[in-house]
Structure 1
Amino acid sequence: MSDTDGKKTLGVRGPRSGSVKQSFSHGRTKNVVVETKRKRVVTPKPAAPKTSDGGGSKPVGGDPRKRPAGITDAELERRMKALTAAKAREADEARAREADEKSRAEERERRRAEIEQKEAEEREREEALKAKAEEDAKRLRDEQAARAKPAAPQPTPADVEAKAQKSAKPAPNRSDRDTRDQDARTAKPKGADDKRRSGKLTVNQALTGGEGGRQRSMASMKRQQERARKKAMGQSQDREKVTRDVQLPEAIVVSELANRMGEKVSNVVKSLMQSGMMVTQTQTIDADTAELIIEEFGHRVVRVSDADVEQVIEQTEDTPEKLTDRAPIITIMGHVDHGKTSILDAIRNARVTAGEAGGITQHIGAYQVTSESGMPLTFLDTPGHAAFTSMRARGAQVTDIVVLVVAADDAVMPQTIEAINHAKAAKVPMIVAINKIDKHEANADKVRTDLLQHEVIVEKLSGDVQDVEVSAKTGKGLDSLLESIALQSEILELKANPNRSASGAVIEAKLDVGRGPVATVLVQNGTLRQGDIFVVGEQWGKVRALENDRGERVKEAGPSVPVEVLGLNGTPEAGDVLNVVETEAQAREIAEYRQKAAKDKRAAAGAATTLEQMMAKAKADEDVAELPILVKADVQGSAEAIVQAMEKIGNDEVRVRVLHYGVGAITETDVGLAEASNAPIIGFNVRANASARNTANQKGVEIRYYSVIYNLVDDVTAAASGLLSAEVRETFIGYAEIREVFKVSKVGNVAGCLVTEGVARRSAGVRLLRDNVVVHEGTLKTLKRFKDEVNEVISGQECGMAFENYEDIRKGDVIEIFTREEVERTL
């Protein structure tokens, strides 16, 4: 038996080399050569079976002498199991990788097959189209050749003789004739080399045709062949002149004129230059010059005015059969704090007041509610403060019914009278809601009596105006109020046509940071839908989204429905009319015309003054102190109301000047304007952005924020009062009579006086009276009692007085002594 029997030979296990296939995106793969170094693994011998003689057994794992030191049987068994599990896991991972690689390869093959199939189908389609085009072209050439071939004329005797002489000439040999035929067959048609693509494919070639590019259409090929046929037959190729009706406004750009005539811009510019006008295509020419050019090109002139662009939004009257019932629009009006919003809260079961600063309404809110009878009602809640007169006026212009809210404990107030006047001017029916009837001091009869002074006679006093006693707090009388509104709307028979282009009024407009310009629109006629193109005032837009009064997105809004419209290109004015048009071009043209008209109107208003008027105004402005301010508000209505309130602050000496007002956040541009004008910035329910805040801090511009208009008006009034010159008040303190005049060296004339009334003080002002006529007013240079300087001399004592820079004093003159006091004035 050899020494190696039953034992493994000792060897060195070196690194094993192999390759790994890596997969990348877009189907790319790469083979990488790797080396794997294996660790030496000690495999214990299997344990010997137990003996039957009870003498014990060998330990698990073989002979302990051949096992690594410190390894127990349990540890060795655990290691063996872990090794087996690791090998099984590696095998599973390898199988998973192989399956994944196989599926990826199959997917790549499938995609490659699909692409090849599509390319083959595309080539077949292109070859079929090319073959068809060649066949059509060949057939067309044959037809043209057949038409162009002239009929054979009858031979004349001269022709017969010439033919006989020609036949007598020697015939050319066969080889020459064959050469000429071969040249004719191999000759390439003219222009064939020009159309062959050479070199790289350029963008121009790809767009105009050629291999791999766009193919010429059949119509283009037919036109080319028709031109070639006419040229060969000697016919004229001039096309028939198209005469157009050219709409000509008061002024037109040269390029637009050429577009309307259908002529080349270069030809129009050339014609103008020949007429002596050196212009370019971007310059504007007047209507008379344009008319000459149009007639020169052979077109007809149709004169139009700029205002004709608005003819597309002229509304036609609806026939009675197209009209359907619509919800009434109710405006709630009244004095501040008389409970207008609270009544609407009770009707809507919401808390509108909680969202307004100071508990007062400062915006026009539009809400739609449904009564218990199922009838929809649209409410407009207008502010009651005096500053929002214009907003209440807009509310009355779009309303059907006015609900005049009067507090039973406060009776008729100034804004109540304004609301009555607005309702009468709008010629809409009125319902009087006498609120706060639950209070102990409520007196509804006093309210009815006070309304008589303003020609509002309620039904209880034998009039035609409905009156309802309500309490927003307890809910008393609200059902009666809704019944009165429903009855009044039935009498009015309100109808509209929902199946037409929408038109409506802008109740409020604002600039939202996240949504852009937003307008609250009350649809009056038609149906406003998402995607409609509209023009509103000087702005236009496309309805990007519609939101109802509850903030929900809706697809359309019919008559009498208030919605917020998103998608404007600018913030419109509150009170503007919204009209839906067909195209964006019409909307843009109308908006540009309105902007130009408004600009011309402002310029005309500024220029409509004579030189004398301007001089007088400048002289008057010199004596008036101004407080410049900038106003930025959250909505257009609030900005207008603030500006109107600012115009009322001031008098003949001081006034508030609003340099700029707008809607939206305070920007860096506003800060720059404020710095140049040394003016503060007033922010009403808006804030400055980060860059504007930093710039304002650097340049020392004051930004003040407000959310209640009372506080804003009070602060601006106080600031304007500071520009008033202080009022000087004089207080008489005494008289002194000059008894003698002394001439003192280094002092001048000194009056010896007797204080006859009051007291004489050195710090007081004095007037010198001669025969009760003031001859001098000034201050005292000295006041002496005997030889001592004193501050005060009382009545009945003698003293000496000398005037500052005045010595014409005489015996018998009277000196009036008084004090001056400056008192601050307020507006």
Structure 2
Amino acid sequence: MTDTKNPGEKTLTVAQPKTLSLKRSGVEQGVVRQSFSHGRTKAVVVEKVKRRAHGPEQKSEPTPQQASQAPARPQPPRPPAGGGGGGQRPAGGAQRPAGGPGQRPGGRPSGVVLRTLTEEERSARALALADAKVREAEERKIAEEEARRRKEREAAERAEREAAEARKREEEDRRRVEDEAKRKAEQEAKKRFGDDEAAKTAAPAAARPAKPAGTQPAPTAGARTATPAAGARTATPAPGARTATPEPEEDERRPVRRSGAGPARPAPAPKPAKAAPQKSRGRLTVVTALDAGEERERSVAAFRRRVQRLKGHASNEPKEKLVREVTIPEAITIQELANRMAERAVDVIKLLMKQGQMAKITDTIDADTAQLIAEELGHTVKRVSEADVEEGLFDVADAPEDLVQRPPVVTIMGHVDHGKTSLLDAIRKTNVVGGEAGGITQHIGAYQVKSPSGDKITFIDTPGHAAFTAMRARGARVTDVVVLVVAADDGVMPQTVEAIQHAKAANVPMIVAINKIDKPDAKPERVRTELLQHEVQVESFGGETIEIEVSAKQKTNLDKLLDMIGLQAEILELRANPNRAAEGTVIEAKLDRGRGPVATVLVQRGTLKVGDIVVAGAEWGRVRALVSDTGASIDSAGPSVPVEVLGFNGTPEAGDRLAVVENESRAREVTDYRSHQKREKQAARASGMRGSLEQMMSQLKTSGRKEFPLLIKADVQGSVEAIVGALEKLGTDEVAARVILSGVGGITESDVTLAEASGTAIIGFNVRAHKEAREAAERLGIEIRYYNIIYDLVDDVKKAMSGLLPPTTRETMLGNAQIQQVFNITKVGKVAGCKVTDGVVQRGANVRLIRDNVVIHEGKLSQLKHLKDDVREVTSGHECGMSFENYQDMRVGDVIECYRVETVQRSL
């Protein structure tokens, strides 16, 4: 007897009787099969030795006293039906044979005398019997629980078998229907295609071998084999008989537990095979393929509908109208307007449709239309403009008590080569004019000097060349006093008149400095007289304009000039507030290769300091350094102080106003707005020049205007402005200069690439090409021209543009002749016999054939003969023979005009 895996459950098996053989007396043998885990079993031989009797006589029957003292022996349990012998030991110890004490199984006395049990043995036996009863009760409960679970498992298996049988029946029904349909289709095919084809179709089926009659079909997966009934009893052998016990099958895994108290447990039915999942027979699509094996769930839309149903009509209740203050710029999209009003864009579009305007949600509407829509929907409107970002940037009024006196700003203006820079050099005791190319000023400069009285005066020097009109206008706008320099030996010139007009437009007082009075041909009185023609009346002629005769070369009357400037400044009472954010004007700007963008700024109000965030035009930056006109670095610059500012992120344009802002975000707002405005102006200018495609084509057909492309790089912004302006003035209806790119700084490799792509030349004014750009230009064959004087640049471009003009043709009359006879010569054609009436007739010249004062042919005179000789020309009064190229219709009386066409090259 061995323990199994389940504690408390013990199995005892007795081997079947074997063949009778001789054995020792008093020894009983048996075979017990032990069960182990994983279905393993082992047969073990068990022997039992009986106690021998000590006397020949048998033990007598117990006395009544002994019988009363001996405890009642429980009857051994009857082996269960169908069991393999007495499989379980009876409670109380070893199994005894049937019969009374001292009796053999056959009823004969055994001869063994039983001894009387002691109290300890009786108490131990009573305890053993009690324990056996408790174990029997526990085992009975366990058996009942196992029986209940077995019934449940059998019910579940029965349900599975029924479901499998139902699926099998459905499959058989479906196959039967399909076979029926196939059979009908075959019959139809027989009727349609004839018996021959049907016979061919049935031939493979007839060729199959017939199945033997005695062959039994193989059992299906769901078939059940016959098993003995659960309550059947098997024959139990006699106690002394030996029977053969068959070995268990390999698939027997769980031994059957037998309980002496409970009923016999039937063998479990085999599990049916798990039915395969039904194959979907619908159409295979992407949706079905992706959804295979997935459970359907509620969609988001269904969930939303459920939530709405639960809410009921709460959402349909009218909500309170929210009135908002809507900020409307100059242009706004419909979507943005709807968002600001917290309205639906559909409602806005409906209002536009009522007004007869079809629009999309992304369309842009103007401020007036947006205001009408907002007011229609019950909102209030606040109109703003994009230019509002510049509010408070300039022209903020200062308190009178904060104003202090500031130096005057004086601009020196006049015609070219009248001595403006020389006069300023004499005042500053420098030699600026010596560094200028060609001896003329081509840059605007700002300087500060001290007058004899000790006061400071800021001078702005402007070029006098005709191309620098913008510079002179810029100087007049930022100045307090204009000094008009007129050469005594030259008088009033065109740029002098222009300077007078700029001063009047700026509404600033003017002082006339008549220069070069040291020259022998100087005539100051003529200058005064010529100024009267332009409404400038000097004091010597009874006017209000101060005039001073000076000589820059001899330094004559320079102190008087400075005193007059100081006197004029006192009259003007020039004052400013230095304790505020700086404001100023960019006089000039350039791109320095070592220092980056550099702007010459004239501070007009406040104090500019290092570290300030400044905005100038479309550029902004943080002031990194301030450089005075003498080249010294300073920390701050007050009112009327010219200074070079370093730190811009780009080169500003000359004439831009400069202002200090509080932070970078404000600077970016202002510069973004100005950049947008600048791009719009350029686009409008370009579209205005080009027009539509039809207009461009019509212009090409009618005018045939040619363009001369150029790429210009200069040292300062003012020079670029002057060059572009001068080249634009050179244009005519037939040819014009087109500036592809104009900028400040040296010529870079990207400039060469752009010139190569556009097929243009590069012009450098006071700048040079970088090494990489020079090598790229040589490799690509791009011409780079350098200039230092602006009128040389303008003259060369003018000559190059003249080459684009089509040449003009001019006719020169040679003579006339009249046809007197027409001859028809074989292999030659018609020849006109003519007489030259006036002038001369030349071979190869152009001729016109005139009949009845109507020109009927124009061509060339191919042959000219006098008598029989070919001649080059025939003079008046002589007769000759003429023949024309590709023309034979000549008649007597026709007049022939002979002329020469000359080509004349045009120029701008």
Q: TM-score normalized by structure 1? A: 0.64
The question of 1:486 aligning with 2:558 is answered no
Post-superposition shift, 1:775?
2.1
Change (3 A) 1:764 1:245: closer
Paired residue for 2:488? 408
Partner of 1:172: none
The one-letter code matched in structure 2 to 1:379 is F
| Pairwise CA distance, 1:496 | 0.3
Partner of 2:391: helix, strand, or coil?
helix
Distance in 2 (CA, whole Å) between partners of 1:620 and 1:449 is 52
Q: Report the counterpart of residue 752 of structure 2 in structure 1.
A: 671
Query: How many Å separate the matches in 2 of 1:413 and 1:249?
Result: 50
Choose 745-754 or 474-483, whichever is displaced more. 745-754
Secondary structure of residue in 2 paired with 1:650: coil
Distance in 2 (CA, whole Å) between partners of 1:525 and 1:388 is: 27
> 1:354, 1:332 → 2: CA distance?
18
Q: Is the 8 A contact 1:733 1:818 kept in 2?
A: yes
Whether 2:820 is the aligned partner of 1:739: answer yes
> Contact 2:703/2:733 (CA < 8 Å) preserved in 1?
no
**RMSD across aligned C-alpha pairs, in angstroms?**
3.5
Residue 631 of structure 2, aligned match among 542, 551, 570: 551
Change (3 A) 1:475 1:640: same
- CA distance, structure 2, for counterparts of residue 286 and residue 732 of structure 1: 68
* 2:736 corresponds to 1:655: yes
Partner SS for 1:313: coil
Give the match for residue 633 of structure 1.
714
The count of aligned residue pairs is 567
Conserved in 2, the CA contact under 8 Å of 1:744 and 1:750?
yes
Question: 1: CA distance between counterparts of 2:590 and 2:363?
Answer: 36
Query: Could you report, residue by residue, the CA deviation over 1:161-204 in whole angstroms, capped at 9, with x for unpaired residues?
Result: xxxxxxxxxxxxxxxxxxxxxxxxxxxxxxxxxxxxxxxxxxxx
Question: How many Å apart are 1:585 and its aligned residue?
Answer: 1.0
Aligned to 2:592: 512
Matches of residues 96-135 of structure 1 in structure 2 within 5 Å? none
> What's 2:13 paired with?
none
Q: Could you tell me which residue of structure 2 aligns to residue 792 of structure 1? A: 873
Q: Which moved more, 1:693-702 or 1:620-629?
A: 620-629
Matched, 1:701 2:782: yes
Post-superposition offset of 1:670: 1.7
SS class of match (2:447): strand
Distance 2:463 2:804 in 1: 32
Q: Quote the residue 1:345 is aligned against.
A: 425
CA apart distance, 1:607: 5.1
**C-alpha separation in 2, matches of 1:336 and 1:527:** 35
Distance 1:773 1:581, change over 3 A: same
Give distance in 2, aligned partners of 1:614 and 1:409: 52
Alignment match of 2:726 (pick from 636, 639, 645): 645
**Equivalent runs, 1:609-620 vs 2, <5 Å:** 614-615=695-696, 618-619=699-700
Q: Are 2:804 and 1:723 aligned?
A: yes
Map of 1:522-541 to 2, 5 A cutoff? 522-541=602-621
Q: Report the counterpart of residue 326 of structure 1 in structure 2.
A: 406
1:312–1:581 CA contact under 8 A, matched in 2: no
Go from structure 1 to structure 2 and tell me whether the alpha carbon gap of 1:607 and 1:537 turns closer, same or farther (over 3 Å shift).
same
Give 1:598 shift: 2.1
Give the match for residue 564 of structure 1: 644
Cα 1:398–1:601 shift into 2, 3 Å = same
Q: 2:849 touches 2:857 (CA, 8 Å); kept in 1? A: yes
Structure 2 CA distance for aligned equivalents of residues 480 and 761 of structure 1? 77
Cα gap change, 1:304/1:730 in structure 2, threshold over 3 Å: closer, same or farther?
A: closer
Give the Cα separation in 2 of the matches to 1:630 and 1:607: 21
Match of residue 884 from structure 2: 803
TM-superposed deviation, 1:322: 0.5
Structure 2 residue corresponding to 1:781, chosen from 862, 865, 868:
862
Paired AA for residue 489 in structure 1 = A
**Contact 1:364–1:508 under 8 Å retained in 2:** yes
Q: 1:618 to 1:370 in 2, by over 3 A?
A: same
Contact 1:248 1:287 in 2 (8 A): no
Q: 2:833 aligns with which of 741, 744, 752?
A: 752
Q: Distance in 2 between matches of 1:783 and 1:495?
A: 92
Q: What CA distance in whole angstroms lies between the structure 2 residues aligned with 1:650 and 1:604?
A: 20
Contact 2:578–2:606, Cα closer than 8 Å, also in 1? yes
Alignment CA distance shift 1:790-1:715 (3 Å): same
Q: Is the 8 A contact 1:406 1:435 kept in 2?
A: yes
* Aligned: 1:587 with 2:693: no
- Aligned residue runs from structure 1 range 450-489, under 5 A: 450-489=530-569
1:422 pairs, out of 477, 485, 502, with 502
Percent pairwise identity? 62
Deviations along 1:498-532, whole A, 9 cap, x unmatched?
00000000000111111111110000000000000
Distance across 1 between alignment mates of 2:330 and 2:802: 51
Contact 2:703 2:734 in 1 (8 A): no
Residues 252 and 619 of structure 1, relative CA distance in 2, 3 Å threshold: closer
- Where does residue 301 of structure 2 map in the other structure? none
Aligned-pair CA distance for 1:304: 5.1
Conserved? CA contact 1:505–1:576, under 8 Å = yes
CA contact (8 A) 1:665 1:689 kept: yes
AA aligned opposite 1:362: Q
Deviation at 1:621, TM superposition (A): 7.5
How far is 1:308 from its partner?
2.6
1:388 shift after superposition: 0.4
Which sections of structure 1, spanning at least 5 residues, go unmatched?
1-243, 261-267, 277-282, 292-299
Tell me which stretches of 4 or more aligned residues in structure 1 moved more than 6 Å.
244-253, 283-288, 300-303
Letter in 2 for 1:635: V
- Where does residue 146 of structure 2 map in the other structure? none
Residues 136-535 of structure 1: matches in 2 within 5 Å? 305-535=385-615
Judge conservation of contact 2:425–2:432 (CA < 8 Å) in 1.
yes
Deviation at 1:682, TM superposition (A): 0.9
In the TM superposition, what whole-angstrom CA distance separates every residue of 1:634-656 from its partner, at most 9, and x where no partner exists? Answer: 11111010011101113222222
Report the Cα offset of residue 359 of structure 1: 0.8
- On the 8 A contact 2:394/2:659 being kept in 1, the answer is no
What is the aligned partner in structure 2 of residue 161 from structure 1? Answer: none
Q: Deviations over 1:198-253 (max 9, x none)?
A: xxxxxxxxxxxxxxxxxxxxxxxxxxxxxxxxxxxxxxxxxxxxxx9998878999
TM-score (norm 2): 0.58
Question: Residue 795 of structure 2 corresponds to which residue in structure 1?
Answer: 714
The one-character-per-residue Cα deviations of 1:707-737 (angstroms, maximum 9, x if unpaired) are: 0001001101111111122222222222222
Name the structure 1 match of 2:81: none
Residue 312 and residue 621 in structure 1: after superposition, are their counterparts in 2 closer, same or farther (change >3 A)?
farther
- Structure 2 CA distance for aligned equivalents of residues 564 and 252 of structure 1: 41
Structure 2: 5+ residue runs without aligned partners? 1-323, 350-361, 372-379
1:334-355, Cα deviation, whole Å (9 max, x unpaired): 0000000000000000001011
Richer in helix (by share): 1
Tell me the CA shift for residue 619 of structure 1: 3.3
CA distance, structure 1, for counterparts of residue 901 and residue 736 of structure 2: 27
Report the CA distance between 1:593 and its aligned residue.
1.2
Q: Which residue of 2 aligns with 1:691?
A: 772
Tell me which amino acid in the other structure corresponds to 1:412.
Answer: V
Give, in whole Å, the separation in 2 of the partners of 1:341 and 1:606. Answer: 38
Cα deviation, residue 617, structure 1: 6.0
Q: Report Cα offsets for 1:298-348 as digits up to 9, x if no partner.
A: xx9987543332224244211111000000000000000000000000000
Query: Structure 1 residue 786: deviation in Å?
Result: 2.6
Q: Is the 8 A contact 1:627 1:655 kept in 2?
A: yes
Maintained 8 Å contact 2:713/2:764: yes
Q: Is the Cα–Cα contact under 8 Å of residues 251 and 284 in structure 1 kept in the other structure? A: no
Q: Please list the CA deviations of residues 560-581 of structure 1 after superposition, one character each: whole Å capped at 9, or x if unmatched.
A: 0000000001111110000000
